[in-house]
Chain A
Amino acid sequence: MEEIYKELAAIVGERYVSNQPEEKFIYSRDPGTMEPSDPDFVVMPNSTEEVQQILLLANRKSLPVVPMGGGLVLSGLTRPLKGGIVVDMKRMNRIIEVNEKSRYAIVEAGTSQGMLQAYLKKHHPNLKHSVPDAPPIATVGGNVLIHGSGHLSHAAGFHSEMLNGMEVVLPTGEIARLGSCSTSPYWFSRAPLPDLVGLFLGWAGTTGIATKLAIKLFPNRALNDVAVFVVEDAELAPDIIHRITGVGLAEDVTAWMTPKPDWAEGFVHININYSADSKDELAWKKNLLRAPLKKYMDEKIGGFMMLPAPMKKPFLEAPASQLTRFADTRKGGGFEYVGAIMPVALFPRAHQVGLEIAERCGTTYSTGARILGAGHCMMFFYAYPFNRADASDVKRAQVALEETNRAALEMGGIPWKAEAPAQKEIIKRMDENTFDLMNRIRGILDPNRIMNPGNWEAD
């Protein structure tokens, strides 16, 4: 092992490799409920070539490799289940290019959401990217690769759908460019070429290490507003969402249901965020977004909250800081959620399941959804904060999460960024040939099975 340490140090420099207990402790876990699992080494490469050298070394030594961005996935995907090397990408955080006219940015995989947001604000104030509701240290690349979503997901879908192309180091060390950048100096699109990008999306780091990504940018309009529609009956939510998304003018549509604060208990709140370049345009959009909900207002069974400017502020933040506060309601630094991707029509059932599980497990319910595309599907979330210092609280959250994953699958949804045990549950329901194809692809890309072993594996 000492020899491997020296070889890693030779690749990335002495300062950026560690096999010390404190680093191993930190990199063995994330803020979720999954049991920790120690790495043997942690490295922080500074270039694609260094990543390549690490992978070549790992292949020679048959050492597992686990790529990591911000380490905030919460479902334990960056825990090195079989030990080996955690490759922390945070040093590779350069913003390589912003193409103003074609509205895309090329970033290194360790670039954080906060860095890109700040960079665009300073240098390209007319552009923005879709920001997930994660702490600003979450990486742009990590969120794209797990099929994340964010504040422009109604307008443009999953963050993986906003990916124009990428540079990736294959498990066997080859560097490949995917998308238009494979053929052109411009990173403008995945079409019209055979789309190989999907080989690295949703695979939990089992097929290679992304080193550069080109993501779509969008107009950053001067005026932003939010409307919050409230109903009591969750059965109405699919139709309301259908009506709102049918207008096609919102940037983000999210729903939230929580018993805290007290006044929120028992209601479904649907936030509609939109923006405009002028007051007239904003008013026009507001009216168009309200119009399809008139039926509910006339029947008095739904209505828009009156939100004075100070109350709107938290709803206009990207990322939403309120979520960070909610994540720590139990204190002790533990937070995990099931985000299940499913059709919007399942909203009422998904919510009901959340209430039942929370009651059974003695936890506080907090559910919600982010609508993806024009209501094509949603990420329905069940959040479970817990006190990491309280073992029984951790266990309670763990049980609730497991139950929720199962329930999501049973109703026809699919857990997003699923924990390793949940991946096994997904595989049980997956078409056999699909799973076989996944394994054949992995066999080709990663013959020594060094990439994040323990993930996407059947029992």
Chain B
Amino acid sequence: MHELKYDEAVCEKCESVDCLVKCRYMGLDLKSAKEERLRLIRGESSRALKDCITCYACEEYCPHGNHPFYLLVDRQEQSGIWPVPIPLTKQQIKMMAPKGRITREKVHPPVLNMCYFPMLKGCIQGKLFDGVSTIVGSDIFCNIMWLHFAKNSTIRERLPQMIDNIWQYYLKDSGTDELICYHDECYGTYTQLAPAFDIDVPFKSIHLFEFLTKRLEELKDQVRPLGMKVAYQRPCSNRLVPDTQRWVDEIFKRIGVHRVDREYDRENALCCGGVLRLQQRDDLADDLVNRNLNDMLAAGANVCVFNCPACFFTMGQAAAERGLMPILMSDLCRAALGEKLTGVF
């Protein structure tokens, strides 16, 4: 059930093995990458299974769209490899379980999916979100986070129900089949991961950035260019949907901020370090936070823009302490509309 759409033959023939060679953390040359690839295909023990920091990047690097990362996570689970200690994994699975508290509700379009981030509902205000309905809760949680835990089985088990909940409880009777996803994880789940696992999605997902771009166009007379130098912290889940990066540039252009040209951006982005803390690899997490912040500062940024709440939680305080204002993309747009930000958390 929900077999991964992965083609061994395509993988075997691949000459570049970009999925492993381009990995920023394992340091494999082409020869050793080819060896590890073979082991992964055969379901044998591989260094890649243990060293992977689960940053999703190989999904973007694969020139064939063959889902190497999902295969690797499947193999981790089959091999009994726990990237995150077992008690923490089990605890998270309990914590993020659907609570069954969803009630049928007629929402009006546009419908904004806040996933399981109720604490971010405070961001959804002002002109930018005028008329927007929000949905949030454990029963519509996208569940993609289990990729970090070698738990594709949990995704396979829970995701279809979440999709059905969104459709049955909210969208079906509300005259819309469009769902705006606040978080890259949700957009990546419904547009890239679900098809990869052969899971049907009966609605159309819109990335938050596309929505923001449209709203900024409608409100363009009210936009006051911010004139800031910003660094963007690209989240891991955006690796699933790299095309959406164009919206980041578009939004920055519309609100008059300059995206600094830094080393760890776009395809070359570095993980925020959050997942590594769960994996108990704090040394590497600290290193990544420092490298990211040093890079931002060296490029002249004075603002650090996030779209992922987890990245925000992980790096926000450290960024602020280093003199970089941490801010979510939606809040940055609201600031450009002259709205006073009261703080989310």
The interface of chain A, by Cβ under 8 A from chain B, is 230-232, 261-267, 279, 283, 286-287, 290, 296-297, 300-306, 308-310
B85 touches A262 (CB 8 A): no
Contact B314 A308 (CB under 8 A): yes
Selected from B90, B280, B286, the residue in CB contact (under 8 A) with A232 is: B90
Interface of B is mostly: helix
User: Which residues from A are CB-within-8-Å of B314?
Assistant: 308
Alpha-carbon distance A203/B90, docked complex (angstroms): 46
Does B224 have its Cβ within 8 Å of any Cβ on chain A? Answer: no
Query: Residue among B94, B97, B316 with the most chain A CB within 10 A?
Result: B94
Contact A306 B85 (CB under 8 A): no
Do the beta carbons of A301 and B345 come within 8 Å of each other? no
In the complex, chain A residues whose CB is within 8 Å of the CB of B282: 286-287, 290
Verify A232–B87 contact, CB threshold 8 A: yes
* Inter-chain contact A309/B95, CB cutoff 8 Å: no
B54 to chain A, nearest CB (A): 14
Measured between beta carbons, the chain A residues less than 8 angstroms from B90 are 232, 266-267
Cβ-based interface call for B317 (8 A): yes
**Cβ-defined contact, B313 with A309, below 8 A:** yes
Chain B count of residues within 8 A CB distance of the other chain: 25
CB of B313 within 8 A of CB of A303, answer: no
Q: Which chain B residue has the least Cβ–Cβ distance from A262?
A: B94
Q: Would you list 20 pairs from A and B whose C-beta atoms are within 8 A, ordered by A residue?
A: A230-B85, A232-B86, A232-B90, A261-B95, A263-B92, A266-B90, A267-B87, A287-B282, A290-B282, A297-B85, A300-B85, A301-B86, A301-B87, A303-B84, A303-B278, A303-B280, A304-B280, A309-B313, A309-B316, A309-B317
Contact yes or no, B345 A305, CB < 8 A:
no
Q: Does B277 contact A (CB under 8 A)?
A: yes
**B279-303: contact bitstring with A at CB < 8 Å (1 yes, 0 no)?**
0101000100000000000000000
Q: How far is the CB of B141 from chain A (nearest CB, A)?
A: 14
- B91 at the A/B interface (Cβ < 8 Å)? yes
Whether B188 sits at the interface, judged by CB under 8 Å, is no
Given contacts A230-B91, A263-B95, A267-B91, contact A301 B85 (CB under 8 A): yes
Measured CB to CB, the nearest residue on chain B to A230 is B87
Q: Looking across the interface, which residue of chain A has its beta carbon closest to that of B316?
A: A309
Interface centre among A286, A287, A300, A301 (most CB of B within 10 A): A300
Q: How far is the CA of A306 from the CA of B273 in the complex (A)?
A: 11
**How many angstroms from the CA of A286 to the CA of B277 in the assembled complex?**
13
Most interface-central of B85, B313, B314, B316 (chain A CB within 10 A)? B85
Residues of chain A lying within 8 A (CB to CB) of residue B146: none
Cα A297 to Cα B314 in complex, Å, equals 20
Closest to A266 in B: B90
Contacts of A309 in B (CB 8 A): 313, 316-317, 345
Query: What separation, in Å, do the CA atoms of A297 and B97 have in the docked complex?
Result: 24
Interface flag for B10 (CB, 8 Å): no
